[in-house]
């Protein structure tokens, strides 16, 4: 299926093991995060390197969102071995559908890579999955657009310590890729806009709960008032949303728009 000790999706060296009945291989990748994949799901996409890389980009985003640790199956069936399941097709459906969406989600990924706005960001040229890129040319394009929009700039120490005129400082995208960069105020403003996805600028909370009438009272009299009324956060409950998409894809889309996830456990 894959070479030993390499990630099935991105090809990086990683921890590889077996799960359950040994039909599922587990991976702990620095770029894709923690996931497992069933033998049949892997065989179905073994020769499609573009599909695997796009799936790796989506997994890199989920790793930064702390939404990894799931199992990829030929068909999604809820939970297996205590982990949620998905499919390669579902991951591909989550890949950005437009260039603007790609740029916005890439910028959000950058914001998740730092604990403070002044922290320097380094993107590995050979694994630019957090910027939804596969080649150096694609990576350079994203970095170049962020520069032109004023979202990112050089490490400030490079500018301060440079002895020649500021105009002579190398500001090429490749220089930023090789030496690191930080998010500027304009980038922070755009990140703030992207995280305020619900009406009125309210943050959104995705409520993960059992779709059963017995949970209505808990939601109506406990969860929604505590999160919505007391905290001023928009609650999103999946069975209250009208949609024509696959339920797993819609859940992933709503989680991505949410600032946090509230989990309601049933007894």
Q: Is residue 6 part of a domain?
A: no
User: Average pLDDT over the chain, rounded to whole?
Assistant: 83
In a domain, 226, yes or no: yes
Per-residue model confidence (pLDDT) at position 166: 54
111 pLDDT above the threshold of 90: yes
Same domain, yes or no: 40 and 74:
yes
Contact predicate 99/146, CB 8 Å? no
Same-domain status, 56 and 128: no
| Pair 123, 84 in one domain | no
Alpha-carbon gap, residue 57 to 63, rounded angstroms: 10
Two tokens, residue 144:
């170049």
CA pair distance 203, 196, nearest whole angstrom: 5
Residues 143 and 173 reside in one and the same domain: yes
Task: State mean pLDDT over 121-149.
Answer: 94
DSSP string spanning 82-110? Answer: TEEEE-HHHHHHTS-SSHHHHHHHHHHHH
Among 59, 93, 127, the domain-final residue is 93
In the predicted structure, residue 186 carries a pLDDT above the cut 60: yes
Spatial separation of the C-alpha atoms in residues 50 and 109, rounded to whole Å:
21
| Higher per-residue pLDDT: 241 or 88 | 88
Segment 162-174 shows an average pLDDT of 62
Final residue of a domain: which of 30, 62, 93?
A: 93
Q: In the listed set 35, 66, 93, which residue is the last one of a domain according to the structure?
A: 93
Answer yes or no: is pLDDT of 2 > 50: no
Q: In 171-259, which residue ranges form alpha helices assigned H by DSSP?
A: 173-179, 185-195, 216-218, 224, 247-257
Which pLDDT belongs to residue 155? 63
Q: Which residues pair with 154 in a beta bridge?
A: 181
208-245, pLDDT tens digit by residue? 887 777 778 888 888 888 887 667 777 888 775 655 45
**What's the confidence (pLDDT) of residue 147?**
94
- What is the domain range of residue 164? 99-195
Whether residue 183 sits in one domain with residue 116 = yes
pLDDT at 36: 93
> Which tens digits make up the pLDDT trace of 36-46?
999 899 888 88
Q: Report whether 58 contacts 39 (CB < 8 A).
A: no
Q: Within its chain, how far is the Cα of 135 from the centroid? A: 19
| pLDDT value, residue 28 | 95
CA separation for the pair 68, 9 (Å, rounded)? 14
More confident position, 96 or 167: 96
**One domain, residues 205 and 189:** no
Q: Return the pLDDT at 206.
A: 85
- Whole-prediction pTM: 0.70
Domains in the chain, number: 3
pLDDT band (50, 70, 90) for residue 156: low
30 and 105 share one domain: no
Residue 119 CB contacts under 8 Å (≥ 6 apart), including other chains: 182
């Amino acid at each position: 299926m894959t070479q030993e000790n390499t990630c099935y999706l991105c090809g990086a060296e990683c921890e590889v093991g077996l799960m359950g009945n040994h039909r599922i291989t587990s991976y702990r990748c620095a770029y894709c995060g923690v996931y497992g994949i069933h033998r049949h799901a892997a065989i179905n996409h073994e020769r499609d390197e573009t599909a695997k890389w796009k799936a790796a980009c989506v997994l890199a985003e989920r790793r930064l969102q702390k939404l990894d640790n799931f199992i990829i199956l030929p068909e999604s069936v809820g939970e297996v071995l205590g982990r949620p399941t998905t499919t390669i097709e579902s991951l591909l459906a989550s890949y950005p559908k437009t260039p603007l969406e790609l740029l916005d989600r890439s910028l959000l990924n950058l914001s998740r890579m730092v604990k403070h706005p002044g922290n320097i960001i380094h993107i590995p040229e050979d694994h630019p999955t957090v910027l939804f890129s596969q080649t150096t040319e694609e990576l350079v394009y994203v970095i170049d657009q962020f520069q032109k929009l004023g979202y990112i700039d050089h490490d400030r120490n490079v500018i301060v310590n440079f002895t020649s005129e500021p105009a002579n400082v190398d500001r090429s995208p490749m220089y930023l890729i090789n030496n690191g960069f930080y998010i500027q105020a304009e980038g922070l403003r755009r990140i703030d806009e992207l995280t305020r996805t619900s009406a009125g600028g309210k943050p959104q909370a995705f409520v993960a709960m059992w779709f059963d009438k017995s949970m209505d009272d808990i939601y109506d009299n406990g969860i929604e008032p505590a999160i919505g009324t007391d905290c001023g956060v928009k609650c999103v409950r999946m069975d209250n949303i009208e949609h024509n998409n696959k339920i797993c894809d819609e859940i992933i889309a709503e989680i991505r728009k949410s600032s946090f996830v509230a989990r309601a456990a049933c007894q």
